[in-house]
Structure 1
Amino acid sequence: MTEERFKVGIVGGGAMGEALVRGLLAAGTLSPAELMVSEVHGPRREYLERETGIRTVAENGRLVEFGDVLILAVKPHVVGDVAAEIRPGLRPSQTVISIAAGVSLEYIEKSLGEGFPVIRVMPNTPALVGAAASAYCLGRYAGPRDGARARTVLEAVGRTVQVEERLLDVVTGLSGSGPAYMFLVLEALADGAVRMGLPRDISVMLAAQTMYGAAKMVLETGEHTGRLKDMVTTPGGTTAAGLFALEEGAVRAALQRAVEEATARAREIDERGGS
C-alpha cells in the first residue's frame, strides 16, 4: 500500500516547530510546498522562509485551510485559545497533533469540539538534531490513519513509540527530562577527566562520543544493557573499578529517583492540564 501524502501546518515557529520542519524536509518526507507555519512574529517568519523555503503566515485560519495535519507547537497555556481559533475551519478528516506538555487529550478535544481526531505527543529537545525520543497517544476520535500520520512526522526527527495517555507522564520523566540527566552525567565524566589532567575540550568530546556510541550499541544490537556492560568489564580491570565507584555512589538509585520525581511532577502538572 502506498504511503499517504499529506500537508502539514504547524502552529508556532519556535524551536520545536523549526525542528519538525527541518526534520521533515531533511528526511524527504515532505517538500517545502507541503509545509506551512503560522507565526505571529514577522522576523521569525522571514527567518523560516529564508532558511527552509517553506511558506509562513500570521493567521492560524489560513493554516487550517492548508493542512491535513495540524501541529500545535505552542506554549501549554495558549492551547485553549489556539483551539478556539482554529475550530471554525477544522474538518473531521484533519489530524490535530499537540506537543504541548501537560495538556490532556480530554481538554484539547473539549476545546475543539466533538469528532475531531487529536493526538498528544511528548517529544524531547534532541529533535533539534534529528535524534528525538518521542511518544504519542491517540484521542477518542483518532484512528489508524491519524496514528500513521503522527508516526511519519515524529520519525522524521528521531524514534517514536505509541503509549496509553496514563503513561505519558512516565515518558516525560524519562525521555522528556532525560536529556538534562545525560548532560549532567556527561559533564561529570568530563570533569573527572579534567581532574585527572585531560584538557577540557578533549574531555567533553570523548565523554559525548562515548555516550553516543554506547546508546548506538544499545539501539542497533538489541543486546541487554547488562550484557553490553559485561563486554567492557574485565575481571579486576579498570572498568570494574570504575563501576564499583558508581555503585558505591548510588548513581543507579539516583537516576531511578530522578525519573520517579520528574514523573510525579509531570502528573501534578497534567492534573491541571489546560488550566
Structure 2
Amino acid sequence: MKLTGLTVIGGGQMARALVGGMLESGCLDAEELTVVHKTASTGTWWTENHPGCTTTTDTVAAVASAKVVMLAVKPHIIAEVMTVQDEQGNSADWNDRLIISIAAGIGLDSLTEQAGHRRVVRVMPNTPSLVGEGASGFCAADGVDDDDVELVKTMLESVGIAAQVTDPQMNAVTGVSGSGPAYVFLIIEALADGGVAAGLPRATALQLATQTVLGAAKMVRETGEHPGVLKDNVCSPGGTTIAAMSTLEKNAVRGAMIQAVQASANRSRELA
C-alpha cells in the first residue's frame, strides 16, 4: 500500500526511524513527505538525508496539505500542537485526516477529543525501529476503517513488526516492548560483566553476550518453539546451564522481569 500526503510533526529519532523505514521499503516517496520542525538543524538533517521532502516550521499549512498526520512529539506538547495557530490566527484543520500519534501515554479518548474526530490511531514503537527490528503496538479509534489500519500496519512493518491491541492494553505494550529494549540492554551488560568476572577480555565478553541474545531471540522467532522448551533443551542433567538457571531462580530474575513490565505499564497508566 502506497502512502501519500504524509506530514510528520516533530523530526526526532523515532520519526527518523519510522519514516526512514517507509522510504526504504518504498511505501512512501520523499516527495510525499512534509516534516514540521522547530530547529534549523533538524530541517537540514531531513533535507540532506531525504532529498525531495519538504521541511517547514508552519504546522497549520503542513496539516492543511496532508492526508495523514503523524504526531511524533513529546506527550506534554500534544495539546500545544493540536491547538496551534499561524501568524494570521488560523487554527490547524484536523478534519478528514488520519492522525497517528506516537506520543507515549496519551490515550485515544484524549487524542480524539483534541482532534475533533475519531479517525485516530495511537502507536507505541520502540527504539530497535532504528535498525529495522522494531516491535510496535497500535490501537485504533472507532472512526478508523480497514484501509487505515492496513496503512498503519504497512508503515510500522517497514521497520519491524506491528500488533493491534485495544487502547487499555497499550500500557502493557509499553511495559513489554516500549520499555523492553532497556531490560535487554541491562541483560547484555550483565552477561558481559559476568564474562569479565570469569576472565574474559571486556570486548570479547560484550561481543559474545550481544550475539547470544540476538541468536536466542532469533531461535524463538524462527522455530516457533516456546522459550521454555528451548531453555530446557540447553539444560543437560547435572550440567553447567542448569546450575546457572538455579542461581537465576534463587535470585528471582524471572519475578524481577515480570515486576519490571508491570511497573512500566503502571507508570504509563499514571502518566495518561
TM-score (norm 1): 0.92
Q: CA deviation at 1:4?
A: 4.6
Number of the residue aligned with 1:90: 94
Q: CA deviation at 1:63?
A: 2.1
Contact 1:133–1:159 (CA under 8 A) maintained in structure 2: yes
Number of the residue aligned with 2:88: none
Matched, 1:56 2:55: yes
Structure 1 CA distance for aligned equivalents of residues 219 and 31 of structure 2: 37
Give me the identity figure in percent.
43
Matched, 1:37 2:25: no
Matched, 1:24 2:22: yes
Q: Secondary structure at the match of 2:84?
A: helix
Structure 1 CA distance for aligned equivalents of residues 55 and 133 of structure 2: 25
Q: How does 1:240-255 map to 2 (within 5 A)?
A: 240-255=242-257
Q: Secondary structure at the match of 1:165?
A: coil
Structure 2 unaligned runs (5+)?
A: 86-90
Structure 1 CA distance for aligned equivalents of residues 6 and 155 of structure 2: 9
Match of 1:235 among 234, 237, 240: 237
Contact 2:120–2:140 (CA under 8 A) maintained in structure 1: yes
Matched, 1:80 2:84: no
Q: How does 1:196-275 map to 2 (within 5 A)?
A: 196-270=198-272
Structure 2 CA distance for aligned equivalents of residues 10 and 47 of structure 1: 14
Structure 2 CA distance for aligned equivalents of residues 5 and 39 of structure 1: 21
One-letter amino acid of the counterpart of residue 217, structure 1: M
One-letter amino acid of the counterpart of residue 113, structure 1: G
Q: 129-138 or 22-31, which moves further after superposition? A: 22-31
Q: CA deviation at 1:265?
A: 1.3
Structure 1 CA distance for aligned equivalents of residues 82 and 116 of structure 2: 9
One-letter amino acid of the counterpart of residue 242, structure 2: A
Number of the residue aligned with 1:178: 180
Q: Deviations over 1:160-183 (max 9, x none)?
A: 100000111111111111111111
Number of the residue aligned with 2:13: 15
Structure 1 CA distance for aligned equivalents of residues 178 and 156 of structure 2: 14
Contact 2:82–2:92 (CA under 8 A) maintained in structure 1: no
Decide whether aligned partners of structure 1 residues 4 and 29 sit closer, same or farther in structure 2, where only a CA change above 3 A counts: closer
One-letter amino acid of the counterpart of residue 98, structure 2: T
Q: 81-90 or 6-15, which moves further after superposition? A: 81-90
Structure 1 CA distance for aligned equivalents of residues 184 and 127 of structure 2: 12
Structure 2 CA distance for aligned equivalents of residues 170 and 233 of structure 1: 31
Q: CA deviation at 1:49?
A: 0.8
Number of the residue aligned with 2:114: 111
Structure 2 CA distance for aligned equivalents of residues 8 and 49 of structure 1: 15
Q: CA deviation at 1:52?
A: 2.1
Structure 2 CA distance for aligned equivalents of residues 108 and 185 of structure 1: 35
Structure 2 CA distance for aligned equivalents of residues 223 and 67 of structure 1: 44
Aligned residues: 266
TM-score (norm 2): 0.93
Q: Secondary structure at the match of 2:83?
A: helix
Structure 2 CA distance for aligned equivalents of residues 5 and 31 of structure 1: 8
Number of the residue aligned with 1:166: 168
Q: Secondary structure at the match of 1:100?
A: coil
CA RMSD between the two structures: 1.5
Q: 169-178 or 225-234, which moves further after superposition? A: 225-234
